[in-house]
Amino acid sequence: MFNKRLLVVGLMAATAGLMGCNKKEEVKPVDDSAKLATLEQKANYIIGQNLGKNLQNGGLTIEPDSLALALTDIRDGKESRISEEDMQKIMQEVQQKAMAKQEEEQKKLSETNIADGKKYLEENKAKEGVTTTESGLQYKVITEGKGPKPKATDTVTVHYVGKLIDGTEFDSSVKNGQPATFPLDGVIPGWTEGLQLMPQGSKWEIVIPSELAYGAGGQGPIPPSSTLIFEVELLEIKAAEAAPEAK
């Protein structure tokens, strides 16, 4: 998942020199008859499109007159209308406001996901075949294997499909074309707990509360405070190698 905070910071730094005038002015109608015939005209249009998208992604309102003023000054070799010192202050303020807005949005999303997750877990635990552990982890046996159960120090090989509670699939070893292998004590707590309960050869559905998953930070395509659903098939267990004896 890209880091939106880094995107915002990078955007502000990249566009600092183009913020020419912060004063709001009446925006004049755009001349739709502008020609896009030459290579330079097309390149300018493409760069303008990308800049506009970046401004919007960074939470800024597009001010065509201010942008045009800055670009015209650069073209005509004029000095910036805003001093270097003021530029830094202005862009720092813009960054702070953008980050505060982003954090507030993330907080609201996190609160919503916590509430939705609790509701899902409450409804799911009443379903036939679902077991809820002391930690709040839930699992349902799809196929019960006959092999041993792994220890936290073991390395396991699994096939899995991961989904959000709305059914959105965010990861799948099946689609990736090969099973995943990892040390069981090196993953999220819900995986470490859940797989230790599974005999080798089993396929289970495991529902992991957000506090046993990625929590308020989220991860990649996983939003903050998301309850996760995994269909997991435990294929192989490799015991941790014993530490060499001291001589």
* Catalytic annotation, pick one of 116, 165, 185, 188: 188
Could you confirm whether 171 is annotated as catalytic? yes
- Tell me how far CA of residue 220 lies from CA of 4, 5, 170, 232, in angstroms: 11, 14, 9, 20
Could you confirm whether 214 is annotated as catalytic? yes
Angle at 232 between CA 227 and CA 236, to 5 degrees: 140
* Catalytic annotation, pick one of 82, 114, 171, 237: 171
* Catalytic annotation, pick one of 120, 154, 229, 230: 230
Decide: 238 and 169 in contact? Cβ < 8 Å.
no
* Catalytic annotation, pick one of 114, 139, 160, 208: 160
Dump the DSSP string for 171-218: EEHHHHTS-EEEEGGGS-HHHHHHHHTSPTT-EEEEEE-GGGTTGGG-
* Catalytic annotation, pick one of 82, 114, 214, 222: 214
Residue of 21, 31, 22, 27 lying closest to 70 (CA atoms)? 21
Cα–Cα distance, 106 to 5 (Å, whole number): 11
Structure-token pair, residue 91: 């862009």
Could you confirm whether 230 is annotated as catalytic? yes
CA 65 from chain centre, in angstroms, equals 34
**Which residue is associated with the tokens 């670009």?**
71
Dump the DSSP string for 98-143: HHHHHHHHHHHHHHHHHHHHHHHHHHHTTSTTEEE-TTS-EEEEEE
Residue of 72, 198, 213, 79 lying closest to 147 (CA atoms)? 198
| Residues catalogued as catalytic | 160, 170-171, 188, 214, 230
